[in-house]
A and B are shown apart, each in its own frame.
Chain A
């Protein structure tokens, strides 16, 4: 039987709450970036908005999938009806696998766009972009069988994004860039902690907390930007 629930019983629902917050932060950043694109017609705002829009959609998918599975889990445990459990397993597996695939594909797609944008390679050749998209697809599909693949791939993307952010911080010394660097670094670490989280529920909890902290830091950066006056 596929183990759907990595979360310890006491954390069930709380992780969905955390991910709802991260979804909201990603959506806020996406909408602001797209607003700046509408004003300036500068493609970088569009790509940045699209990347965070994909992230927001990814987390929305994960929250929805998890809540459905958690609800079934709680129902099954509350009523303990063997027949209901037996009937629920087939469709639940398909539903969970589809939701998980959607979440992973959208997340890796978002990280790919962010990496290409920040490394100034968004206008790179179509063949290279096609290869990278193929890589993201393969990693997403394969990760439904081997979960570690997703977290390693996401960690790799986030590591390179963090390095690019560090480089830009040293080049431009923008006062808020250090918070963005901290945010991406935390997200990189959270993906690495999710790996032992597959086997140890406490690690899963820590990974969720670190991931949330990363997005809260990004929200902090966003607030500082919004408070800038002309």
Chain B
């Protein structure tokens, strides 16, 4: 079944949580199962919604999940069920 926007966001956040809270862009690209262009678009959205933050490192950068991102992940199933139940 085709993933909705909220499914993709949750998959990306879960990928970061499963990597200990921080992940490199290439790992996220692999785990999120998206094209590079689409992943960049989602990362921009996740950063703008303060669900993740960019972290500069010695070699390149990584993405770290925020408290709001963790809360999103916890509430994901309820949000999805709310969405499905009320036809949103």
Contact = CB atoms under 8 A, between A and B. Distances in A.
A164 B86 CA distance: 10
Interface size class of B (residues with CB under 8 A): 20 to 34
Given A36-B75, A39-B72, A39-B75, A224 B86 contact: no
B85 A40 contact: no
Contact of A228 (B48, B71, B78): B78
Interface in A29-44: 32-33, 36, 39-42, 44
B77 A229 contact: yes
Query: Which DSSP category, helix, strand, loop or mixed, fits chain A's interface?
Result: helix
B85 A39 contact: no
Nearest to A47: B88
Contact of B6 (A33, A42, A168, A180): A42
A20 B60 CA distance: 57
B87 A164 contact: yes
Contacts of B71: 39
A217 to B, nearest CB: 12
Interface residues of A, number: 29
B88 A172 contact: no
B44 interface: no
Contacts of A177: 84-87
Nearest to B88: A44
Nearest to B1: A172
Contact of A225 (B5, B48, B82): B82
Given A45-B88, A176-B84, A225-B85, A40 B79 contact: yes
B68 interface: yes
Contact of A118 (B5, B48, B85, B87): B87
A169 B79 CA distance: 17
A218 to B, nearest CB: 9
Interface in B40-88: 48-49, 68, 71-79, 81-88
Contacts of B68: 39
Nearest to A45: B88
B85 A230 contact: no
Given A39-B71, A40-B49, A41-B49, A174 B88 contact: no
Interface of A: 32-33, 36, 39-42, 44-45, 48, 117-118, 164-165, 168-169, 172, 174, 176-177, 179-180, 221, 224-226, 228-230
Interface of B: 5-6, 9, 48-49, 68, 71-79, 81-88
Given A33-B82, A48-B86, A174-B85, 17 more contacts: A36-B78, A39-B71, A39-B72, A39-B79, A40-B6, A44-B83, A44-B88, A45-B79, A45-B88, A48-B88, A117-B88, A169-B87, A172-B84, A174-B84, A177-B85, A225-B85, A229-B77
